[in-house]
Amino acid sequence: MKKIILLACIIGCIVVAGCVAQTGKNTTPDSNSPSTTLSIPATTPGIAQTLPVSAKDGVTGRLIVAIGSYFGELPVFIDNTSVGTVSSAKPLNITVNEGHRTVRVCSGTRCEQVGVEIKSAIKTSIDFEERLKNNAPQGSLSVSLGDYNANLPVLIDDKNRGNVSMGKPLNLTVSEGRHTVKVCSGSVCEQQDVEITSTKRTTVDFGERLKKSIRQGPLIVSLGNYIAELPVFIDNTSVGNVSTVKPLNVMLSEGNHTVRICVGLICENETVVVKFAQQSIVDFGERLKKSVEFSTPTVRIVNYFITGNRLTVDAEFINPGKTDLSMGATVGVGYSYIDSATHQRENQYGQYRFTRSVKAGSRLKQTLEMTLSGGSSTIASEPTIVEVII
């Protein structure tokens, strides 16, 4: 009886082992079984990345998302994954894995969505301009400074959209909805919330608020007795004109400012320190006389006279440049004299060379002596500068 029981146990074990072996064989993956879809979420907006794709192939194509001339920087989502931003000046160019994808662009709370089929080695382009203009209209916004004299950056929803200055408002196209407009001068900022609609123009003027919150001082720009009427630029912004009879008076925020006046291509600059309630003055008269009247190295004759056959010339050597120069000048003069042999008046022309060293930005007055060879009773015409050699 014991032998029969033992034999039955052995047979049972063999059967169980066979079952286990058969079960293990069925768990081996079939090479022909369907692949699993992987989802790789984006981590850094604006960086090209790989989107959901079949784990089997891993083939990619290019996708370009644009918004035409629609103004703004808008987020882009592909298969509900953020992949960066797109603007009118910069389309989004990314690598996307093969397959059917859903592309969505949002302006505020309004989104536009399309489905695309991405194929390997094929560039696919989508432009949302018309959809956005029709379904997410924009409105006009004008930001100004009134008569506050400055050139300041404008931030809308904390993004820099350009600069505004006195007499030159910043005009923008902004998506409908509520936005925050801010201008800053140094560490002092003024801001205002606006509601943008496509049916009317919205204007914001920060002039009076900036005057109250930022300390200012007066500046006078003049030309002395230099005769002209010229535009004035402060910190590269035009602030008006100055003339010989009418100085320009402006109010500026405290601190350093650069004042510039130009005559053609020749400009004079001055850095001024403006202080609260203290008058600052900058006069460009003498500098303009030096730099503009003679913009290149010049030698001119101021006066001359003749004694016997001796010609004396008072000349001025002018160096408007920024380096010292050795300047050569040739003086020419026509003259006549009575020949001692024939007692006839003869005509003659003489040239005389003079060289002087002239420091940068200075003028050097010199007396030049010339002997007019010939006979007696010498008569000279007005001498001229024939040539200047640097």
CATH of the domain at 289: 2.60.40.10
Span of 23-32, 48-57, 161-170, 290-299 with lowest mean pLDDT: 23-32
At 282, is the pLDDT very low, low, confident or very high (cuts 50, 70, 90)? very high
69-78, 176-185, 284-293: segment of lowest average pLDDT: 284-293
**Are 207 and 254 contained in the same domain?**
no
pLDDT for residue 295: 73
Average pLDDT over residues 252-257: 86
Q: 348 or 36: which carries more pLDDT confidence?
A: 348
- Does residue 205 register a pLDDT over 90? yes
Residue 146 sits in the same domain as residue 224: no
Report if residue 18 sits inside a domain: no
Separation CA 320–CA 292 (nearest Å): 9
Whether residues 222 and 285 share a domain: the answer is yes
235-239: average pLDDT = 85
- Flag whether pLDDT at 185 surpasses 80: yes
Percent of the chain with pLDDT over 90: 48
Task: State the total domains in the chain.
Answer: 4
Pick 292 or 285 by higher pLDDT: 285
- Highest-scoring range by mean pLDDT, 39-43, 221-225, 317-321: 221-225
Residue 39 lies in a domain: no
More confident residue, 47 or 71: 71
pLDDT band at 174 (very low <50, low <70, confident <90, very high): confident
Instruction: Look at residues 268, 293, 318 and tell me which one is the last residue of a structural domain.
Output: 293
Do the Cβ atoms of 143 and 183 come closer than 8 Å? yes
**Is the pLDDT confidence value at 226 over 80?**
yes
| Domain C-terminal end among 151, 180, 213 | 213
Whether the per-residue pLDDT at 275 is higher than 70: the answer is yes
pTM of the model: 0.49
CB count in 10 Å sphere of residue 173: 15
**Whole-number pLDDT of residue 329:** 94
Is residue 33 in some structural domain? no
Looking at the domain assignment, is residue 226 inside a domain? yes
pLDDT of 73 reads 83
Which whole number is the average pLDDT over 321-337?
A: 92
**171 and 131 in one domain?**
no
User: Do 226 and 208 fall within a single domain?
Assistant: no
pLDDT at position 58? 66
| CATH code of the domain covering residue 174 | 2.60.40.1120
Q: Within a domain: residue 32? A: no
Question: Any bridge partners for residue 332, and if so which?
Answer: 351, 384
If you average pLDDT over every residue of the chain, what do you get? Answer: 82
Final residue in a domain of this structure, among 154, 184, 213: 213
Q: Has residue 235 got a pLDDT over 90?
A: no
Same domain, 194 and 230: no
Residue 364 counted as domain residue: yes
Instruction: Indicate whether 93 belongs to any domain.
Output: yes
Q: Determine which of 1-10, 78-87, 176-185, 300-309 has the lowest per-residue pLDDT on average.
A: 1-10
What range defines the domain where residue 79 resides?
Answer: 44-135
Which has more confidence, 281 or 8?
281
Q: How confident is the model at residue 265 (pLDDT cuts 50, 70, 90)?
A: low
* pLDDT at 287 (0 to 100): 85
Report the pLDDT value the prediction gives residue 187, as an integer from 0 to 100.
79
- Asked if 278 and 338 sit in the same domain, the reply is no
